[in-house]
Structure 1
């Protein structure tokens, strides 16, 4: 009898110890999770492959400070990214942190409730409030514009100096500049069909449009692409093309190819934007670059000197399971010291306050902070079909269609959008 009692008591003690051990492990796990010790992985998606190395270094630093957060970076080319990110996020999936362009892309994802509302976040105090507006809807901050870009041609200062050329102040001066370059065997403007039309249309439109928001009126049916301001702009594209001021096979030239031609000194101007200056410098360390915009009107009718965009807008996926970790990474990116590191590694001017720039390209871009520039007109369009109609009109003109017919074709596409509204 005593033996049975002893065995039973031993089994009870062992069972109690096992249960206590299990309970202790559970409590330890829950305590670790509550203290933020559980390792999480977040995905950061964007389209700037040229920034991959710079972000990798920043991510490594962040992970040292935050060992329980792993950041995986995924990058696609511009057009692939636009299509993929829309499909992922509208399907209820996608990365934890993602970059967006202003305009139609941001509008579409906002309508799909893809963003976490970042209003009231402490890191917003690190920014120029005016430059945050492209990421706002009804006063709420859904995305944070990180880069300040000038969507105007980059020009080769060495070529300009060789032929005693200065950025022109009117349309006739711009044509004369192009002709002198062509006469000396230099292609005046390198234009690509991948992103170039969407970039170069902005400075070409800025002084031709009746107002800065004319393109937003087009998609509402309050203005038309068949109106004189747009037809005139297409006629000016035709004039540049007819006079041989673009390189051969514009429609077959991609973004990277255009950049390579410009870096090799095969053209005097690259019709993209300030975001390309660092890439060009990497390809040709000896090049000296500046920024200019074609003024499409007489000098006394000029309203704007150039185009700016607050872009590369960073947001957090509303379906993310790691929102707090994502916020922590954004907060890190927006620190002035980290923003300075990113800016100087990539050659990008930023929207963050107190960033220190140390490259000639960024010094050149910062000169434009005091100039009168218009927010990129193309990003005033929030319907992608309208945006496509505008840029396709340029391709049509360069393919041989008359400006009037190209404008009429584009307006038909817009009319279909207006009818659905």
Structure 2
């Protein structure tokens, strides 16, 4: 082979290598975003691993409608999310769109300047204005709650009908109902103390003992104390549940899967969590008829509230993101009624989006709680100091573990005094 021929082949190969290199740079740019027509990848960060399948489907459809945007979902366990979300969001490398819990996490993120102001976005009008105030500060909308959860026990409605039981309207009637269940060999309340603890159940237990919705703000300011009657009575009510056997033995060692199994197989009548577990219960036993029931811890004439609601899974845009326009497009897509309906029906969640079409029987049968019952926002989320929240919850666990209510209240109040705002 001549030197001239070899030189010509080498030249062709060099040109091919240059062209190949240019093509590689173009593909890389398409992934990271850049010039017009190129694909921008955004991160969607949240804690609900149980929603991954439906979000995968929604993201696929979103990407079809928005071919210039791709969505990478980053899911973390809820406890890890509470502990590390702020650091990750401040770095800006993840969570262009992210979800926030109400209460202490929302306040912490807001004070750190993590939330982009969404007040002027048209898609805000897709949400029920009465249900999104928890994402507002000084009249500005920083986050949009997506889920409407009822944080009160789920109960086996079919079992109640078989035993001739009605939903109790007072603390006396609640105890009579529990006694009837025990007489029939049924544990009244399955309590998942090992992982969820009293986080949800405390809300309906305190709602009428302290009907003042500013009670925890007053606790943080020093105007109220945990050693006052409203909280000591709440601890006494928890003690009564444990001493009378209304919750299962070793409640503090029972995880949520075991507690759900107790309700699914008819061993227990109520699950001390909330509406977000109804879909899982029906997955374990499709024949269950379910509804919601909040213990009324006072006499009927003194009751102010019938249940608990929480607008949560608060959608937000990271102020540190370089892809805010694309992030807003994704939230806008999630707030469309047909997309929200898909999410609601496949996850068993009520939502804050207007015009959602609920198809599942469980959602249809409990939708009356949205408009027809007097519920209050979850009190626990109004404890904006994380250390105080831990102290409040620990006092319940300590009582369930055998400590006297006043002693548990005094120990918790010491922590409140150390962390008072």
- After TM superposition, is the score higher than 0.5? yes
**CA deviation string 1:25-76 (max 9, x = no partner):** 99xx99x9553x2211111121212111111110010011112211111222
SS in 2 for 1:198: coil
TM-score by structure 1 length? 0.90
Question: Within 2, Cα distance between the matches of 1:88 and 1:365?
Answer: 37
Following TM superposition, by how much is the alpha carbon of 1:213 offset from its aligned partner in structure 2, in angstroms?
1.6
Deviation at 1:198, TM superposition (A): 1.1
Q: How many angstroms apart in 2 are the aligned matches of 1:91 and 1:201? A: 35
* TM-score, normalisation: structure 2: 0.90
* CA distance in 1: counterparts of 2:186 and 2:88, whole angstroms: 44
Q: Which residue of 1 aligns with 2:344?
A: 343
**Deviation string, structure 1 residues 293-341 (Cα, Å, up to 9, x no partner):** 1000000001001111111101111111211111111100000110011
Structure 1 residue 142, shift from structure 2 partner: 0.7
Aligned to 1:255: 256
Aligned match of 1:237: 238
Question: For the residues of structure 2 that align with 1:43 and 1:280, how far apart are their CA atoms?
Answer: 31
| 1:383 pairs with one of 375, 382, 385 | 385
Q: Which residue of 2 aligns with 1:405?
A: 407
The answer on whether the counterparts of 2:226 and 2:410 sit within 8 Å (CA) in structure 1 is: yes
- Corresponding residue of 1:40: 40
CA deviation map 1:103-122 (0-9, x unaligned): 00100111111111111111
Q: Distance in 1 between matches of 2:116 and 2:105?
A: 16
Mapped to 2, the partners of 1:320 and 1:295 lie a distance apart of 46
Residue 158 (structure 1) shift: 1.8
Superposition map of 1:278-297 within 5 A = 278-297=279-298
Q: Show structure 2 runs of 5+ residues with no match.
A: 1-21
Per-residue CA deviation, residues 152-202 of structure 1 (Å, 9 max, x unaligned), is 100011211121111100001101111111111111001112224011111
Question: Residue 3 of structure 1 corresponds to which residue in structure 2?
Answer: none
Q: Residue 319 of structure 2 aligns to a residue in which SS?
A: coil
User: What corresponds to 2:161 in structure 1?
Assistant: 161
Which residue number in structure 1 is paired with residue 269 of structure 2? 268
2-side partners of 1:257 and 1:88: how far apart?
33
Corresponding residue number in structure 1 for 2:326: 325
Question: Quick one: distance in 2 between partners of 1:109 and 1:417?
Answer: 19
Residue 122 of structure 1 is matched in structure 2 by 122
Say if 2:204 is the partner of 1:203: yes
Give the length in aligned residue pairs.
Answer: 393
Contact 2:154 2:270 survives alignment (8 Å): yes
Give the Cα–Cα distance (whole angstroms) in 1 for the partners of residues 303 and 185 of structure 2.
30
For 2:143 and 2:60, locate their aligned partners in 1 and report how far apart those are by CA, in whole Å: 24
